[in-house]
Structure formats: structure tokens, C-alpha cells
Structure 1
Amino acid sequence: MRRFLLLTPLAVLLATVVVMLATEYVVARPSHRTKDVAYVAASAPDFDKERHILDVYSPKKAAPNGVGYPVVLFIHGGSWTSGNKNIYTFIGRRLAKQGVVAVLINYRLAPTVHVPEQAADCARALAWTVNNIKQYGGDPARVFVMGHSAGGGLAALLATDNELLVRNGLPENPVRGAIMNDPAGLDMYSYLKEMKYEGDAQYKVPFGNDPSVWKEMSPIYKIKPGLPPFIFYIGGETYPSISGSSGRFRDRLKATEQPAPYTIIPGRHHVPMVLQLYWQHNIIYQGLLKLVGAGLK
């Protein structure tokens, strides 16, 4: 199968996660979960009580440095049309167990909104995190973003698009690094112009029909000197469009003299790239903890 994104039925992902949740209580003991915190004011005209919420996972022990733990904001995938933070509780638990405050967010989905509104939601969640994470044990000066699939593309926008952040309450970009887990949407402008694969028209549901929007929502065109560090983890058996756009993104970063560690994980398909985060000593966590300055426990 050569399609672009997560075309494996969501039921497969959900079934796997159910098995994982059976042992979550063991993982949960060193962490505390604060559920369903609104990151958009309820008085806002576009407030969505189901999608404008996030969870915070904090280590139960106070940070030994007296300042706070590093923070990772995780954005879920789902082809911009599906997904929920509650599927990924294992990521929040694993990060908190290893000395990271994790913020897992929901955002509005297509077709109710399009990707520009989704990017704005993610930026508002980031602003909430910077302004509030200290009370959850996190250090607002060490905030990182992470995403899988469509969430990877949205996370890359947060790391590269300062104007997006300014429009949503962040006069300076607080992102200190970005972890790309099999990211999709890094170059939707080229992808939707080419329309190489069967079924590609479905991605016009979240992105619309305007090529200028495709380009504006493609972080590859926002690469410039001085960006925060990126690290990439790509499945060896992922969709060609994901590996291709990720490679081009990495090359453009290198052209600005920005190192971009790029790890291909042999044999991994798209969905297992996120499911492997259930295991604490996974290679992705090893790189993440090094980037954010946390130690394995």
C-alpha cells in the first residue's frame, strides 16, 4: 500500500491501545494526570468543550533542580480528521516516569474546521502551556513539541512559524526543539499538486482547494536559520511520501547549518512508529530525553 497517511483503520490502533491500557496502572504510579483542562476560554466564540482540552502528566516528585522538569507537548495524528489525546495516555505516563512533564492535546478536526484552524488550536495550547505549566512542575523555559503523523506536521509548524504563534498569544517562539515521529504534512503543497496516489483527494477535506493554503500550512517552506533543533524518527516501511518529505525537510535544515539527526527504524510501518512509545527504553525516548535534558530512570 502506497498511500500517504494513516490509512490503517483506526480500529486497529484502538485495539492495540486497549491491550496496552491493561497494564497502565503499573506505569501510572510515578506520575499524576490532570485531565481535560481547557486551553481556550469557555467564553471564546469558537470554544469546543471536547476539542479545546488537554491533559498534563507530571512526575509525582518535585524536580531536583528547583526550577521544573522539561516539558513535551504531544500532538496526535489521524489524517487531520480523527484522533484523541485519550488514545495516547501511555505516552504521557512514560514521559512523566522519565522526568518530563507531558502535555497531550486535542484540537478541532476536519471537516468541522480546516488545517489553519487546527494549527491555531495547537498554538493556543502551546501558549497555555508556557503560561501555566509551572504550576504542574514544568519549566516554561524548556518546552518542546512532538507529533506523530499529522501531529508531526502540526508540531513542525509550531517550531517554524513565528507569525502563527504571534497571532495566538506568543510574541516569541518558546519551542526549544521538535521531535518528529513519522511526520506527515511537511510539504502538502507539493503533495496535493502532484496527486500521485489513489485516494489523495481525501486530503483536500482538511486542506481545502486553495494552493496558497497548502503552502502556508507546509512547514518545509518556513525553514530559516536559527530554528530550534529537530530530530527525526522514520519507519523503514512507512509511506514513501512521509520518508520523502522528511528527507527533504532534513536537507533544507542542513542547508541552514542546522543539524537534524535522522534515524530510520528498520521494519517499522506507520502505526507501529507511535505504538512503540509504550516501551520506556524505546530508541525514540532515548533521543528525546537527551534533547530535552532529562535522564532515563
Structure 2
Amino acid sequence: MSWLRFLWQIPTALLVLTALLFLINEYSIARPSERTNDIPYLSPNSPEFSAERHVLDVYAPNQKTAQLRPVVIFIHGGNWDSGSKNLYAFIGRRLAKQGVVAVLINYRLSPAVRVPAMADDCARAVLWTTQHIGEYGGDPNRIFVMGHSAGGGLAALVATDRQLLEKWKLPFNAVKGAILDDPAGLDMFDYLKKMEFPGDEQYLVPFSTDSTVWRAMSALYQVTAAGPPILLYTGSRTYPGIIRSTQKFHQRLLELGVKHEYKVFPGKKHVGMVAQLFWKNNLIYQDLLKLVGAPKSD
């Protein structure tokens, strides 16, 4: 029976070993960077201030350089009604290890607010970054936005919607580029008109029943030829609506002559598209580092 006890112990031993290797890996990634968490990007005196949602984290490389570093603002996904920057600390650490100052933000969620207010929050986080990121070694003139899922749709709006940026006194070129990872909501106008899939009615909560809002909150209709460079990614097995709207967005960028890259990851589903960012040598990071002009790192 001793061999049975040995077999029973193997899964536990493997689990412990896996957890240990994970912690060692995370320590090795985190050690070269410094995290400053829960910084308010909206004045706490504002009547709409949320101590949970109007905050951001900054991940900066420990190694100081004379030259300011490029900045990437990451916007989390979560169906417009859930999610938190805290779930994506691994992205902040991996960007910082590769010479980028990373800013991970929270924003208000549905049903407390609708998507226009979420876009406002993201723009205000960009405004804070332009004003303060120099204190963390970041270059306010090299700010890029990145997002997955709903966060990808919001990142696209911040990069393309001139009216949104003007509303918060930001120049149109404040955002130098966007990295959109399996983005949702690039064309909610078409999506909500068709209502093809079970449960689509849920999106009327964050987007309202007003079709003018659907269009205004869809980056497909906001992008112009003056838009910044965009990296666009989808998984081949992600949601059909994301595949279709991303292809349409790609075609629109081609028509306008906006510099961009569009890549489909074979076999990847929606969650896998962000989970792969756990590995710092991932293709998305490789493209991102070239886009932002990050210094070479180990």
C-alpha cells in the first residue's frame, strides 16, 4: 500500500512545486520594478470620486536612466460591469521589467454608470498621466494605451475620439498609439442593432437603449486618418462579435491609411488572449516594445 500513498502524494508535491516556481518567477519579475498603488487620478474632493474606481497603479523600473521611459496605460476588461486593475499586476510587472512605465487603471462600472462615463474616466486617467508620470520616470510625450476585451474598446476610444480628448483638455496627439488585445465594443452600433446572440440585451445596461450612444461609443465611427498607430489582435476562437468588429475596424484603418498591424492568434480564445501576457516574451509584448520604442532589456 506504500506505493499507493506515494502516488497520492505526487499531485500534492507537484502542486507545491508549481506554486513555488510561480512565486520564484514572480519575485524575479517584480524585483526590478517598483509599484505605487491606488493613486487617485481624480480629486478626492470631487463629488463623484470613488476611492475604489478612480485610482491607478504605477509600475516603474527600479533602474534609473537619464532618459524618460515610454508609458503604457492598461485598461482592464470585464464586460463593462466587472474587473479590476489588481487582476493584471503581472502585466504591470512584465512591462516594467522590459523598460516601460506601466499605468494600470480602474474606472467606474455598470450599472452605476454607462460607457460614456467609463470613457471619461479613462481619459481623465490619461490626463493625470500626462501631468504626473514624469515623477515616476515616464515620458509624458510617449503615452500609449492598451486594453483587453471591454478595456480594448475603451482604449480604442481614448486613442481615436477627438471629442473625448478635447472634453478633458487633452490634445489629440496625447496618445501616441494603442494596443488592442481581443477588443470588445469597436462597433456596438451594429452589434446592438442586430442582437444576434443570446443575452445580448444585457449590453443595453452599459450602453443604454439610445442608438446614438452606441455609435458614439464605437471607435469604428470615431477613428480618422490622423489617428495614432494601432496594434490589433484577436484569437481565432474568440467571440464571433469580436472577430467581426475587429475585422471591420482593420478594414476601416486600411481605408484611412492609419498605420497599424492586425494579427490573429490561432486557437486562442478570449481569456487566453490576455492570459498569454503572463509570458514576457509573448508576441504582443514584442510588437509593443517596438511600437513604444522601449530600451532593450534582458
Q: What is the TM-score normalised by the length of structure 2?
A: 0.91
2:223 paired with 1:217: no
Aligned partner (choices 28, 31, 47) of residue 30 of structure 2: 28
**Does the 8 A contact of 1:72 with 1:145 survive in 2?**
yes
Cα separation, 2, equivalents of 1:56 and 1:266: 32
How far, CA to CA, are the matches of 2:26 and 2:111 in structure 1?
A: 33
Could you report, residue by residue, the CA deviation over 1:116-166 in whole angstroms, capped at 9, with x for unpaired residues? 000000000000001100010000110000000000000000011121112
Whole-Å separation in 1 of the counterparts to 2:173 and 2:192: 29
AA aligned opposite 2:69: Y
Could you tell me which residue of structure 2 aligns to residue 118 of structure 1? 118
Cα distance in 2, alignment partners of residues 21 and 155 from structure 1? 30
Q: 1: distance between equivalents of 2:173 and 2:97?
A: 27
Q: Distance in 2 between matches of 1:243 and 1:137?
A: 37
**Post-superposition shift, 1:169?**
3.1
What are the superposed Cα offsets for residues 60-115 of structure 1, whole Å, 9 maximum, x if unpaired?
0113xx23100000000000000000000000000000000000000000000000
2:29 corresponds to which letter in structure 1? Answer: V
Query: How many Å separate the matches in 2 of 1:222 and 1:32?
Result: 36
Indicate the residue corresponding to 1:281 in structure 2: 281
Indicate the residue corresponding to 1:62 in structure 2. 64
AA matched with 1:191: Y
Query: Greater CA radius of gyration, 1 or 2?
Result: 2
**Structure 2 residue identity aligned to 1:189:** F
TM-aligned CA deviation for residue 41 of structure 1: 0.1
Residue of structure 2 in register with 1:266 after alignment: 266
Please say if residues 289 and 296 of structure 1, whose CA atoms lie closer than 8 Å, have aligned partners that are also in contact: no
Q: Which amino acid in 2 is paired with 1:273?
A: M
Secondary structure of 2:58's counterpart equals strand
Which amino acid in the other structure matches residue 179 of structure 1? I
Q: CA deviation at 1:223?
A: 1.7
Q: Is the Cα contact below 8 Å between 2:147 and 2:179 reproduced in 1?
A: yes
**Matches of 1:21 and 1:169 in 2, distance apart?**
43
The sequence identity of aligned pairs, in percent, is 56
- Identify the residue that residue 109 of structure 1 maps to in structure 2: 109
**Residue aligning to 1:138:** 138
Q: Letter of the aligned partner of 1:83 in structure 2?
A: G
- State the 1:226 CA deviation: 1.3
Length-normalised TM-score, structure 1:
0.91
Distance 1:171 1:180 in 2: 21
CA distance in 2 between partners of 1:244 and 1:46 (Å):
36
- Which AA in structure 2 matches 1:146? M
Tell me what 1:147 maps to.
147
CA distance in structure 2 between the aligned counterparts of 1:167 and 1:270, rounded to whole angstroms:
32
Which of 1 and 2 has higher RCO (CA within 8 Å, sep 6+)? 1
Higher helix share: 2
Q: How far apart in 2 are the matches of 1:203 and 1:70?
A: 35
Give, in angstroms, the shift of residue 257 of structure 1.
1.4
Q: Is the 8 A contact 1:162 1:173 kept in 2?
A: no
The answer on whether the counterparts of 2:92 and 2:103 sit within 8 Å (CA) in structure 1 is: yes
What amino acid sits opposite 1:132 in the alignment? H
List gaps (5 residues or longer) in structure 1. Answer: 1-18
Q: Is residue 2:34 matched to residue 1:48?
A: no
8 Å CA contact retained: 1:277, 1:284: yes
Contact 2:173 2:228 in 1 (8 A): no
Deviation at residue 296 of structure 1 after TM alignment: 4.5
How many residue pairs get aligned? The number is 278
**How far did residue 224 of structure 1 move?**
1.2
What is residue 234 of structure 2 aligned with on the other side? 234
* Aligned-pair CA distance for 1:292: 0.4
Partner of 1:196: 196
Write the mapping of 1:247-262 to structure 2, written as runs, cut at 5 A. 247-262=247-262
What RMSD over aligned residues (CA atoms) do the two structures have, in Å? 1.4
Note if contact 1:165-1:173 (Cα within 8 Å) is conserved in structure 2: no
The residue aligned with 1:244 is 244
Counterparts of 2:73 and 2:272 in 1: how far apart (Å)?
A: 20
**1:38 match:** 40
Structure 1 136/189 Cα, relative in aligned 2: closer, same or farther at 3 Å? Answer: same
* CA pair 172-223 structure 1, distance change in 2 beyond 3 A: closer
